[in-house]
Amino acid sequence: MQVNNNIYAPLKARLTEVIEESPLIKTLVLIPEEKFSFNTGQFIELSVDGIGEAPFTPSSSPLVSDRLEVTIMKTGYVTGYMHELKPGAIMGIRGPYGRGYPVESFYGKEVLILGGGCGLAPIRSLLYALENISDKLERVVLCYGSKTPSDCIYKPLFTRLNNTPKFEAHRTVDKADEEWGGNVGVVTTLLEKVKINLRKSLAVVCGPPVMMKFGTLKLVEMGYPDDLIYLSMEKNMSCGLGKCGHCMMGKFFVCKDGPVFTYNEIKDQPDIWN
């Protein structure tokens, strides 16, 4: 989508609702000025007028084009301003950018999704997309880890998934509280508990760098082929267009060649876990 044929000009979008997911995470619901469609795994550059822009993967369904949800963790300057915005505010959107998940190639397979932290936001959009094609999939298994039980966002999502045929969702926390009765440990510990038919399976990993690294290495150890492990990479980004150079990871511009890569594509590039 390009405004006036200018790749740098954002499309305006009205903020209609702010959902508080956790003390540090909010979901902004946006109504774009024009229809805006994206493929799951693609990202947008979202701007606060006059303040700055940052990349986010929409957390809403890729099947909806008149409404967009973005789930934002407050980590610094721009996201700090985003958390202050009230319904009615006008924001800017550029995109969608990059290469998302090749969901057609998931047909006939078991999809294992490994997520952590705010990585659940992009995964939610992927789950919507997979629900839509569930008749063509064998099974979808979500393993999600958060620091504490209260850091977990979209809690109702887990109940819903566990009530959806072919879907199952597992949770773990690094540190339990009194009420927590579930698994304790990093997200890879869940992998020992789920049954997987490796021959039919592929894996998706999305989360903070450490989790991506250990998650991927564990999957490789389990026998997943490198070209069936999909990673959503996060790098500093400015343009989103494959021009500004900020997101370079070896020979790739993560914004344009990614952000979704197979492990096979990037394993020889430098600093992939940084």
Partner 1 sequence: MRYLSINKEEWDVALERLLSSYTVFATISNGYGLDYEVVTAGNIRDISYDRPKPATPLKTFFLPVRENVTSGKHAERQRIILGIPNCDIKGLGILDEIYLDKDYTDISYRERRETTLLISSDCFDMEKNCHCSSYGIKPYSEDGADLAVIQIDDHIILRVITPKGEEFSSQLTMLKPAENGEILNEIEKYHKAVESLLSSANKALPDFETTGKLVSAAGGKIWEKYSSHCVSCGACTTICPTCSCFLLIDRPGFEKIKQMDACQYPGFERTAGGGDSLFELSERFRNRYLCKYVWKSRKFRSTACTGCGRCIEACLGKISKNELFTELTHASQQ
Ligand X SMILES: Cc1cc2nc3c(=O)[nH]c(=O)nc-3n(C[C@H](O)[C@H](O)[C@H](O)COP(=O)(O)OP(=O)(O)OC[C@H]3O[C@@H](n4cnc5c(N)ncnc54)[C@H](O)[C@@H]3O)c2cc1C
Residue list 122-151, contact with partner 1 (CB under 8 A): none
Give residue for tokens 């939610």.
Answer: 124
Strand partners, 5: none
- Give the separation between CA 149 and CA 137, rounded to whole angstroms: 30
* Smallest gap from residue 192 Cβ to ligand X (A): 28
Closest CA to 176 of 207, 145, 154: 145
Any contact of residue 92 with partner 1 (CB under 8 A)?
yes
DSSP 184-221: ES-THHHHTTS---GGGEEEEEESSHHHHHHHHHHHHH
Choose which of 86, 163, 199, 274 interacts with partner 1 (CB under 8 A): 274
- Give the separation between CA 95 and CA 274, rounded to whole angstroms: 25
Judged by CB, which is closer to ligand X: 55, or 116?
55
User: CA angle, corner 120, sides to 222 and 273, nearest 5?
Assistant: 55
Mapped onto helix, strand or coil, the DSSP state of residue 185 is coil
Interacting stretch for partner 1, rule CB under 8 A, among 20-28, 36-44, 70-78, 166-174?
Answer: 70-78
Any contact of residue 246 with partner 1 (CB under 8 A)?
yes
How far does CA 220 lie from the centroid of its chain?
A: 21
Closest CA to 168 of 134, 138, 143: 143
Closest CA to 134 of 156, 163, 96: 163
Q: Which does 72 bind (CB under 5 to 8 A by kind): ligand X, ligand FES, partner 1, none?
A: ligand X
Choose which of 96, 100, 116, 122 interacts with ligand X (CB under 6 A): 122
Residue list 244-273, contact with ligand X (CB under 6 A): 259
Q: Which does 50 bind (CB under 5 to 8 A by kind): partner 1, ligand FES, ligand X, none?
A: partner 1
Q: Which does 92 bind (CB under 5 to 8 A by kind): partner 1, ligand FES, ligand X, none?
A: partner 1
Residue list 189-248, contact with ligand FES (CB under 6 A): 237-247
Judged by CB, which is closer to ligand FES: 167, or 252?
252
Q: Which does 223 bind (CB under 5 to 8 A by kind): ligand FES, ligand X, partner 1, none?
A: none
